[in-house]
């Protein structure tokens, strides 16, 4: 029993040494450092640029239908102009209700005749929003996937001020008029093409996560394959195999590269979260935090599932020049699922089926969680499917790696590597 425990400990120590060597090599690799800095730059730009753009005064077209709607938008436009002045004050009627500062905006009204298809203007994007109503107490603000915050706040403020002014002018106030003065009815907001809420479109998060997975698996996978074939060319692998079992060597390579890949992803996601926090984008922070857990889990499972096969692709080569041909299958297994995930970004039967297939599940199941169309049990089942597949691929990869890593004279086929493995 003691001897078995000692062997297990020495095995784990050997795996850690190999993994540490892989990590050290990666940390000195200029390509890895450059790609990490490049992705960090993209993340910083994606969080800083929207903040800079948000500091500019937006120019928005608003369709109006009805006399009360036209009156409210006209006043909303005036309030938006007033808010552009640094020392602008809140109108007395709004200050009475404790309203805060109003957003700066240039609103332009577009009148629509009664009976005109004002909803089509909104859906086609000809206007940012529309305000409809003949009565100040029954105004409707129409938006497609959302109503710009400036339009929403300014129209609400204008409707409030107009209702207060109208009630005050009536003189002899009834109970209803007093209620209108103290608690005016705000316009109701209707979304004609509602989507999941959030300051960042969920589809954009899906594309970002898919791109990170694609780039990391492809980059680190090629790095694993190149490392294996370089060790074969330099005969270093013979010294390594003489010192420790082949499977421990493979386990150390996979572990080391998995740690670096996950570390890179965590750093990039962390930079995005810090940028969102510094930029005051709290909704972005909540969206990314809510989606990143499942993404990291599926990333780890998907990476481990393919890492051993990347090592096999390298071991089948006898020189670096052969990598292009031995890794073509692995490149297809990465590129095809990536484009499948992009084309299946819209919810539907295709997306649901692909989210349970091992090669596309790491991309599409987190996407379904972000889009909100996955039942609570579905990510768990998909994760188990990927885990089982990963275990099978690890066993397959270990067998092929063992049968090919010491073959240095010519390029091998997978069947030859399988036959050459020690049973």
Quick one: pLDDT at residue 52?
Answer: 61
Of residues 197 and 236, more confidence is placed in: 236
Q: Are the C-beta atoms of 362 and 390 separated by less than 8 Å?
A: no
How many percent of the chain have pLDDT more than 90? 5
Q: Which of 219, 203, 217 is nearest to 343 (CA)?
A: 203
| pLDDT class of 408 with cuts at 50, 70, 90 | low
Report the residue count for the chain.
423
Tell me if the domain spanning 58-191 has CATH number 2.60.120: no
Distance CA 406, CA 367 (A): 41
CA distances to 52, 163, 177, 178, 180 from 174, in Å? 49, 14, 5, 6, 10
**What pLDDT does 96 receive?**
45
SS3 string, the chain, reads CHHHHHHHHHHHHHHHHHHHHHHHHHHHCHHHHHHHHHHHHHHHHHHHHHHHHHCCCCEEEEEEECHHHHHHHHHHHHHHHHHCCCCCCCCHHHHHCCCCCCCCCEEEEEECCCCCCHHHHHHCCCCCEEEECCCHHHCEEEECCCCCHHHHHHHHHHHHHHHHHHHHHCCCCCHHHHHHHHCCCCCEEEECCCCCCCCCCHHHHHHHHHHHHHHHHHHHHHHHHHHHHHHHHCCHHHHHHHHCCHHHHHHHHHHHHHHHHHHHHHHHHHHHHHHHHHCCCHHHHHHHHHHHHHHHHHHHHHHHHHHHHHHHHHHCCCCHHHHHHHCHHHHHHHHHHHHHHHHCCCCCHHHHHHCCCCCCHHHHHHHHHHHCCCCCHHHHHHHHHHHHHHHHHHHHHHHHHHHHCCCCCCCCCHHHHHHHCCC
Dist. CA 142–CA 350, nearest whole Å: 32
**What distance lies between CA 297 and its chain's CA centroid?**
14
Q: Indicate whether 64 pLDDT > 90.
A: yes
Mean pLDDT of the chain: 77
- Domain chopping of the chain, boundaries: 2-51+199-420, 58-191
Please report the pLDDT score of residue 135 as a whole number.
87
Q: Report the phi/psi class of residue 361: left, alpha or beta, with left for phi > 0 and alpha for psi in -120 to 50.
A: alpha
Q: How confident is the model at residue 291 (pLDDT cuts 50, 70, 90)?
A: low
Residue 61 β-bridge partners:
108
What confidence score (pLDDT) does residue 16 get? Answer: 84
Q: How far, in Å, CA of 323 to CA of 152, rounded?
A: 58
Residue 364: closest CA among 190, 210, 217 = 210
Q: Residue 205 above 90 pLDDT?
A: no
CB–CB of 421/331 below 8 Å? no
In the numeric block, the tokens 């297990």 are attached to 8
d(CA 100, CA 89): 10
88 vs 346 pLDDT, higher one: 346
- pLDDT greater at residue 29 or residue 384: 384
Ranked by mean pLDDT, the top range of 106-115, 232-241, 362-371, 403-412 is 106-115
| pLDDT given for residue 9 in this prediction | 45
Handedness of CA 328, 227, 256, 35 (dihedral sign): negative
Residue identified by tokens 């692998």 is 237
- Non-local CB neighbours of 118 within 8 Å, separated by 6+ positions: 63, 65, 112, 130, 132, 142
- The confidence score (pLDDT) of residue 153 equals 87
């Amino acid at each position: 029993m003691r001897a078995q425990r000692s062997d297990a400990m020495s095995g784990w120590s050997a795996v850690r040494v190999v993994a540490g060597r892989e990590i050290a090599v990666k940390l000195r690799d200029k390509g890895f450092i450059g790609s990490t800095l490049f992705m960090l730059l993209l993340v910083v730009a994606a969080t800083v640029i929207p903040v800079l753009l948000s500091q500019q005064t937006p120019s928005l077209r608003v369709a109006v239908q009805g006399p009360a709607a036209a009156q409210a938008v006209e006043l909303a436009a005036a309030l938006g102009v007033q808010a552009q002045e640094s020392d602008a004050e809140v109108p007395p009627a709004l200050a009475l209700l404790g309203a805060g500062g109003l957003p700066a905006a240039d609103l332009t009204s577009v009148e629509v005749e009664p009976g005109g298809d004002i909803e089509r203007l909104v859906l086609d994007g000809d206007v940012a929003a529309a305000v409809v109503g003949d009565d100040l107490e029954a105004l409707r603000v129409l938006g497609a996937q959302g109503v710009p915050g400036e339009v929403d706040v300014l129209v609400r403020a204008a409707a409030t001020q107009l209702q207060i002014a109208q009630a005050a002018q009536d003189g002899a106030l009834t109970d209803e008029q007093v209620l209108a003065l103290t608690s005016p009815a705000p316009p109701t907001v209707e979304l004609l093409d509602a989507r999941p809420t959030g300051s960042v479109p969920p589809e954009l998060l899906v594309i970002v996560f898919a791109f990170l997975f694609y780039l990391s698996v492809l980059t680190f996978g090629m790095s694993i394959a190149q490392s294996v074939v370089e060790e074969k060319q330099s005969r270093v692998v013979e010294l390594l195999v003489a010192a420790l079992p082949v499977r421990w060597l493979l386990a150390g390579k996979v572990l080391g590269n998995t740690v670096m890949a996950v570390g890179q992803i965590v750093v990039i996601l962390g930079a995005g979260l810090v940028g969102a926090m510094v930029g005051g984008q709290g909704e972005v922070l909540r969206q990314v935090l809510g989606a990143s857990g499942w993404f990291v889990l599926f990333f780890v499972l998907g990476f481990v599932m393919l890492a051993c096969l990347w090592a096999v692709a390298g071991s089948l080569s006898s020189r670096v020049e052969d990598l292009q041909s031995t890794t073509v299958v692995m490149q297809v297994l990465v590129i095809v699922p990536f484009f499948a995930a992009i084309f299946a970004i819209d919810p539907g039967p295709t997306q649901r089926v692909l989210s349970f297939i091992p090669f596309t599940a790491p991309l599409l199941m987190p996407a379904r969680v972000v889009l909100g169309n996955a039942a609570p049990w579905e990510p768990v089942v998909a994760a188990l499917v990927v885990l089982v597949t990963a275990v099978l691929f690890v066993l397959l990869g270990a067998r092929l790696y063992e049968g090919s890593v010491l073959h240095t004279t010519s390029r091998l086929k997978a069947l030859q590597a399988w036959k050459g493995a020690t049973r």
